[in-house]
Amino acid sequence: MERVEQKSESPSPPEETTPARTFEVKNLSIWYGEKRAIDNVTMDVASNAVTAIIGPSGCGKSTFLRALNRMHELTPKTRMEGTVLLHDEDLYSSTVDAAIVRRRVGMIFQKSNPFPTMTIGENVIVGLRLNGVRNQKFLNERLEIYELKAKYTIVTVTHNMQQAGRISDYTAFFYLGRLIEFGPTTRIFTNPTEKQTEDYITGRFG
């Protein structure tokens, strides 16, 4: 996916700069009664980027997403281990008000179009056109995502591999509650290190 280059007077940053992160999830496990839905997941969620959670039904995608705003707590008999930091603050600390967290971390549940139509920034369109992109639907989608990312950090759950590949910067592949593979979407989709990831994204199961 294209990333917008920031104009800067300073020399280019070192190769290994870590992008700013909104969430830091460490050793997260979540149970519903005896059933472990999330199994020791550690991953960061980059700020002002789109992270796609992919994986077959029942692998813990929704549970993981709900843990990012303490919504899973509303389900009786849930138990959690591990930590979730939101901008370096422990989301589950006794001093944090869950109602405020749920206002800050919004959840949009599956709809046909997760992104509301927004105004058009001609500069982005022009940039893409210069790169030979002609398809209007594609241009509009790029633009909406670009505008949303300027304001928000987005974590999305999808079963649609084409959509995940198009709209996300990072992809996390979950299977049976475990995070099998996580990285830049371009790498996950072109050169996954895990066979299970490759099998899933090429449609061999799920």
Ligand X SMILES: Nc1ncnc2c1ncn2[C@@H]1O[C@H](COP(=O)(O)OP(=O)(O)O)[C@@H](O)[C@H]1O
Q: Which residues bind ligand X (CB under 6 A)?
A: 32, 35, 37, 55, 57-63, 75
- Scan residues 61-90 and list those touching Mg ion (CB under 5 A): 62
**Minimum distance from CB of 63 to ligand X (Å)?**
3
Place of tokens 């405020």: 100
Least gap, CB of 14 to ligand X (angstroms): 37
67-95 as b/e: b if 16+ CB within 10 A: bbbbbbeeeeebebebebbbeeeebbeee
Which of ligand X, Mg ion, none sits in contact with 58, Cβ below 5 to 8 A by type? ligand X
Residues in the chain: 206
Of ligand X, Mg ion, none, which one does residue 59 interact with (CB within 5 to 8 Å by kind)?
Answer: ligand X
CB of 123 to ligand X, least distance (A): 37
> Which listed option, ligand X, Mg ion, none, makes contact with residue 35 (CB within 5 to 8 Å by class)?
ligand X
Q: Tell me the three state secondary structure of residue 34.
A: coil
156 binds Mg ion (CB under 5 A): no
Segment contacting Mg ion (CB under 5 A): 13-21, 58-66, 115-123, 126-134?
A: 58-66
| Least distance to ligand X, CB of residue 80, Å | 13
Rounded Cα distance between 57 and 61, Å, is 8
If the CB atoms of residues 118 and 161 are measured against ligand X, the closer one turns out to be 161
Buried b (16+ CB within 10 A) or exposed e, 14-35: eeeeeeebbbbbeebebbeeee
| Residues 195 and 202: beta-carbon distance below 8 Å | no
Which CB sits closer to ligand X, 115 or 174?
174
**CA gap 85, 68 in Å, rounded:** 9
The residues facing 84 across adjacent strands are 25
Q: What distances in angstroms separate CA 197 from CA 15, 126, 136, 138, one per listed residue?
A: 26, 35, 31, 26
Decide whether 60 or 165 has the Cβ nearer to ligand X.
60
Task: Report what 32 binds from ligand X, Mg ion, none; CB cut-off 5-8 Å by kind.
Answer: ligand X
Footprint of Mg ion (CB under 5 A): 62
